A and B are shown apart, each in its own frame.
Chain A
Amino acid sequence: AVPRRLCILKGIYPHEPKHKKKVNKGSTAARTFYLLKDIKFLLHEPIVNKFREYKVFVRKLRKAYGKSEWSTVDRLKDNKPTYKLDHIVKERYPTFVDALRDLDDALSMCFLFSTFPRTGKCHVQTIQLCRRLAVEFLNYVIASRSLRKVFLSIKGIYYQAEVLGQPVTWITPYTFAHDHPTDVDYRVMATFTEFYTTLLGFVNFRLYHSLNLLYPPKIDGQADVELKPTEGKEYAMDSESYLEKLSALSASLARVVAPAHEDEVEMDEFPVEGETAEQMDARKKEQEALEKHKKLFEGLRFFLNREVPREPLAFVIRCFGGQVSWDKSLCIGATYDVSDPSITHQIVDRPRVEQQVVGRYYLQPQWVFDSVNAKLCLPVADYFPGVLLPPHLSPFVTEQEGDYVPPEKLKLLAMQRGENPDEESEEEEEEEEEQEEEEDDNDKEEEEEDESEKEEEMKLKKMEEQKAQSNKALPVKVTAGKLRLEDRQRLEQEQQSEEKRLAIMMMKKREKYLYKKIMFGKKRKVREANKLAAKRKAHDSAVREEKKKSKKARRA
């Protein structure tokens, strides 16, 4: 009977009791338990009174409607009680860093709500507010260039930004109409959104001010826009054009203070105690790599074709310093035309491009995302329109020792280290193919050889067994002993493993259980990795087979 809304807003969550039976009157049925302390804490909340007022308001309004007292209805509606969540935000997140740490869900929710249709489901104001806050946040990320990773998943697009040292991850759905499920309680989501919008508003304010930007963001060079207001008018109404322009993500924002020329002050180095020169060096290198990553697309001019998702691409490209434009009819804020000769990359997502312009690359959108994740501009050849794309890997996975690493990732890591394995590997592949063809003929022979070897081994084994038995049998037959070459290392290993086995026997029961559990987990991991590797191998061999066949067909 705990008011749901209050719990959501105040962030009160149930607890698992230490003795379930004791608290639950002897039964072990699943029940949620709140701490008494928490509930008492809720009672002191001033917003409880506001909720009561609201309840009274609803009752009065219903009564007035019933009596058809329209003037009363108007008056009541004018004085609808409202409440603010500012103090709750402050209370739940006493420091700004706390708020940043908990921003993931807020952002994901706001991005989801901003894509809702403006009918039914929830209030239009909420949707508009969500859209506004989301766009503001995107603009901040662009201005601060804090985007780090992007991932196109089948669920949506994941972004990870590093805001003031805190990683903030959010997911946006692909821009399609939602198939609204019926088994979802939108009121719960709306309550969460209510809190999240408040939180995100304050966070945005603070973030903008940390960059010396005006908070309700203003587009830089407002004068230019004002000169030609006609452009906006055909696209949207005056009231909306502002947000639309902002959400086009093409213009930079106005600053409170004009940006100083030397923005990058050389950071003084304070050697931390206990830090070796090597560590310092590594840190410096990391810093440099980060700077380089931030300027990944600096100087490149992109043009987005109309079939590619504009907002994510524009956002990502702008985050890394690239310039971006699109068809004028697609969205407001296009800065240059398709025919602009200075365009270096055109993002295209169609199988074939008629009328290619010389001097620019035509690329599929995955190139942008993969480049961002790889922290370098990848070779363009794999991403031409109509080409079978290389797999898109998750940037969130960091493989540990013993994990399965897909070969593409290995290639990428090599590329990041500055090697260029591409050509070599291709050559190798061809060589391999040739070799394989030769091998095909040899295979049979080899197999035969293998078999004969096996047979010999079997014979030897049998002999040994016989010997072992005959040793004990009475009619002693002395045969010339064979010098068994003893592998020192193997012996040593065997001995060690035996020692370990014996030591395991001496473990205490509880420790043995724990040990077995850990070992089981490890083994499972290895098994899974092996499975993936085997799958990959099978797939590769199948592909190669196909290739060979097609090659032969071509030859014939």
Chain B
Amino acid sequence: PPWHPGVHLHETVSPALTPRPSAPLQDIRNTVGNIPMEWYQDFPHIGYDLEGKRIYKPIRNKDELDMFLEKMENPDYWRTVQDKMTGADIKLTDEQVDLVHRLQKGQFGDVHFNPYEPAVDFFTHEVMIHPVTNRPADKRSFIPSLIEKEKVSKLVHAIKMGWIKPRKPKDSAPTYYDLWAHEDPNSILGRHKMHVPAPKMKLPGHEESYNPPPEYLLSEEEKLAWEQQEPDERKLNFVPQQYRCLRAVPAYSRFIHERFERCLDLYLCPRQRKMRVNVDPEELIPKLPKPRDLQPFPTTQALVYRGHTSLVRCLSVSPSGQWLASGSDDCTVRFWEVCTARCMKTLPVGGVVKSVAWNPNPAVCLVAIGVEQSVLLVNPCLGDKLLYGATDQVLESYVAPEEERVQPVQWVTATMEEHSKGVRLVVQHSKAVKQVTWHGKGDYFASVVSDNSNMQVLIHQTSKRWSQNPFRKSKGLVQCVLFHPVRPYFFVATQRYVRIYNLLKQELTKKLMTNCKWVSSMAIHPGGDNVICGSYDSKLAWFDLDLSTRPYQMLRHHKRALRSVAFHKHYPLFASGSDDGTVIVCHGMVYNDLLQNPLLVPVKVLKGHALTLDLGVLDVLFHPTQPWVFSSGADGTVRLYT
């Protein structure tokens, strides 16, 4: 049972509603005090008596039916009320019922109270001769108030100071006058010079018209594309539309948006003066001498030398210009007559031919062929019989020295069978030979071996059948080597640099930076002061050796890797062949005057080779006397352009 510590036991008040003890023998009073009665809701008793025993609620076990019966039968049912404090039923007396009625009507509880007593004025409207109170008037009612004075003076002060403006004339309309009456140029701020005025809005074109020409309306696909574009990327910020008449034109729903965006642009967009490039594109093209004035140079394809069945890797022309040798992947070397395109001789060599070089000495008829691990010295037996006979004699007149010298390679005389084919000597290397090149005099030749050691470059002397290795140290993968045409210099091209060695002093004289990723080929101007380098990153670098070790000019004419470059012996021409199947012939004039820089002008793009295996032109070569250029391609042909 609940226990309420702070609750006094006392009688509930409400005198009118307190039930008169109908039965004097049972004095059931509320002993729990003024507490919420639902605390005892679930108990059979309410509170405790003096002895501490429970005071039980009167038993209520009437169901709905009993209630109804009682309602029907009991004449006092309507005046029976349950006392929540004790749980007992109380029958209201007549007085109590009367009181309830009166209260319900909003009348006073007391029956005898009269709310409508006659009113008696305390002060009458009639002026009396005597004052209500007999108190004499204060002194302060005769003298002006200090507080008021203070307040007034404050107001006066405020008005004087302009804090309060009494009855200020209200004029909300702005007044305008001639603001620019005195335009004083001196008063213009300096910052006005720096001011960037906002660009004006773009003026509308035909497509914005309410009735545009029909070609400006978007087709279905264009509309779809327009919708799929980002709003910022759209070229037009609206869809052109056509209305029959002016009456049918609706309001533009984004009008306020556009004004707002303009406002944002005006105060949030960074402004910058941009120099508009107003260049005539024709003026950008450099003024070059016309190719017509730079003739002669090869212009048309004259002959095609057919016969090889695979890539033709290398070419070489005899010093007389009558014969052409070509080496191919079909393991043959073919000798052609230049003027007739007739294949004079086919020499099977039993390996992929990497390099062919005709001896530049016109008195000797000898071709060096780089095949696999050996260099073959071949007498093609073409042309003057005296000449090639003399060559054979010179080769046979070799007398072996007394003491055997240690050589990096082996010189072997050809067997009879080979001899009948034309091979005279075989220089056997330890590794595959990449390139063979002759010295201008025709006695020495150099070979490049694909290797990583210092044995990459070897120099051989034919007459003494003697070889030597000029380098002690490897400086990188050697791509190609060349002898200087007149002076004792030796050019070695590694992947990124070209080193020039003085053969007499045996020292490095220059190192050229090619600015290329991978040099593929190199050629020296017959004057000897200019070098061109072709590279696999489709660049051609022209070096002027007198000028600097950096390229004088980089030419990016080709679209793909350059395979080979060549100079003409007499004419100021050079050519480059590339994987894109073209040979570009350029005019490269070198002046004797040191002050004048070389003039480089491309004069002709020669096409003809078909692309096979993604390779185009593999080698280019000029005719020694005529302005003709040979090119060999991956399509198995050699072409002559004249």
Interface of A toward B, CB cutoff 8 Å: 4, 7-8, 11-16, 32-33, 37, 41, 75, 78-79, 84, 86, 89-91, 93-96, 99, 101-102, 104-105, 108-109, 112, 125, 129, 151-156, 158, 169, 173-174, 176-181, 183-185, 188-189, 192, 197-198, 201-202, 204-206, 209, 215, 307-309, 349-350, 364-366, 388-389, 391-394, 396-397, 406-408, 472, 495, 498-507, 509, 511, 514-515, 518-519, 522, 532-533, 535-536, 539
Q: Are B246's CB and A151's CB within 8 A? A: no
**Residue ID in chain B nearest A33 by CB atoms:** B270
Q: Are A393's CB and B206's CB within 8 A? A: yes
Is residue B306 within 8 Å, beta carbon to beta carbon, of the partner chain?
Answer: yes
B338, chain A: closest CB distance, angstroms: 14
Partner of B246, one of A4, A364, A522: A364
Is residue B613 within 8 Å, beta carbon to beta carbon, of the partner chain?
Answer: no
Q: Are A154's CB and B209's CB within 8 A? A: yes
Of A154, A309, A504, A507, the most chain B CB neighbours within 10 A belong to A154
Interface of B toward A, CB cutoff 8 Å: 163-165, 168, 172-174, 176-180, 183, 185, 187-189, 191-192, 195-198, 200-201, 203-206, 208-216, 219, 238, 240-241, 243-247, 249-260, 262-264, 266-272, 277, 279, 281, 284-288, 290-292, 303-304, 306, 341, 555-557, 584, 600-605
Q: Are A154's CB and B241's CB within 8 A? A: yes
In the bound assembly, the distance between CA atoms of A288 and B601 in angstroms comes to 57
Of A84, A472, A532, the most chain B CB neighbours within 10 A belong to A472
Contacts A188-B264, A189-B263 given: A391-B213 contact, CB under 8 Å? yes
Q: Are B180's CB and A99's CB within 8 A? A: yes
Q: Are A519's CB and B263's CB within 8 A? A: no
Q: Which 3 A-B pairs have the closest CB atoms?
A: A176-B251, A396-B203, A536-B215
In the bound assembly, the distance between CA atoms of A41 and B174 in angstroms comes to 27
Partner of B258, one of A15, A104, A155, A202: A155
A174, chain B: closest CB distance, angstroms: 5
**Chain B residues within 8 Å of A129, by CB:** 173-174
In the bound assembly, the distance between CA atoms of A388 and B303 in angstroms comes to 69
**Chain B residues within 8 Å of A180, by CB:** 256
**Chain B residues within 8 Å of A11, by CB:** 195, 267
B176, chain A: closest CB distance, angstroms: 4
Q: Are B285's CB and A215's CB within 8 A? A: no
**Chain A residues within 8 Å of B187, by CB:** 94
Q: Are A153's CB and B210's CB within 8 A? A: yes
Q: Are A506's CB and B210's CB within 8 A? A: no
B440, chain A: closest CB distance, angstroms: 32
**Chain B residues within 8 Å of A396, by CB:** 203-205
Q: Are A152's CB and B605's CB within 8 A? A: no
In the bound assembly, the distance between CA atoms of A504 and B176 in angstroms comes to 63
Q: Are A91's CB and B179's CB within 8 A? A: no
**Chain B residues within 8 Å of A514, by CB:** 277, 279, 284
Contacts A112-B256, A184-B256, A201-B174 given: A389-B266 contact, CB under 8 Å? no
Q: Are A518's CB and B279's CB within 8 A? A: yes
In the bound assembly, the distance between CA atoms of A109 and B272 in angstroms comes to 25
Q: Are A511's CB and B270's CB within 8 A? A: no
In the bound assembly, the distance between CA atoms of A155 and B249 in angstroms comes to 9
- What 19 additional pairs, Cβ within 8 angstroms, besides A153-B204, A189-B263, A500-B285? A11-B267, A13-B198, A32-B268, A78-B165, A95-B180, A112-B255, A154-B249, A169-B200, A184-B257, A192-B263, A202-B178, A205-B177, A396-B203, A408-B213, A502-B601, A503-B285, A503-B286, A506-B555, A511-B284
In the bound assembly, the distance between CA atoms of A129 and B284 in angstroms comes to 56
B191, chain A: closest CB distance, angstroms: 7
Q: Are B176's CB and A202's CB within 8 A? A: yes
**Residue ID in chain A nearest B158 by CB atoms:** A75
In the bound assembly, the distance between CA atoms of A536 and B268 in angstroms comes to 41
B290, chain A: closest CB distance, angstroms: 6
Q: Are B209's CB and A189's CB within 8 A? A: no
Q: Are B269's CB and A41's CB within 8 A? A: no
Partner of A105, one of B262, B292, B303: B262
Q: Are A179's CB and B180's CB within 8 A? A: no
Contacts A94-B187, A99-B180, A536-B213 given: A13-B285 contact, CB under 8 Å? no
Contacts A215-B176, A502-B603 given: A173-B251 contact, CB under 8 Å? yes
**Residue ID in chain A nearest B184 by CB atoms:** A94
Q: Are B245's CB and A389's CB within 8 A? A: yes
In the bound assembly, the distance between CA atoms of A366 and B245 in angstroms comes to 8
**Chain B residues within 8 Å of A309, by CB:** 246
Q: Are B208's CB and A394's CB within 8 A? A: yes
**Residue ID in chain A nearest B253 by CB atoms:** A179
In the bound assembly, the distance between CA atoms of A192 and B258 in angstroms comes to 14
Partner of A188, one of B185, B204, B238, B263: B263
**Chain A residues within 8 Å of B249, by CB:** 152, 154, 174
In the bound assembly, the distance between CA atoms of A457 and B250 in angstroms comes to 59
Q: Are A96's CB and B205's CB within 8 A? A: no
Q: Are A152's CB and B246's CB within 8 A? A: yes
Contacts A176-B250, A201-B174, A307-B247 given: A86-B179 contact, CB under 8 Å? yes
Q: Would you give 20 A-B contacts (Cβ < 8 Å), ordered by A?
A: A13-B266, A79-B164, A95-B180, A105-B201, A108-B259, A151-B209, A153-B209, A173-B255, A178-B251, A179-B251, A202-B179, A309-B246, A391-B209, A397-B205, A406-B213, A472-B303, A503-B287, A504-B285, A511-B284, A535-B219
**Chain A residues within 8 Å of B269, by CB:** 13-14
Partner of B201, one of A104, A366, A407, A539: A104
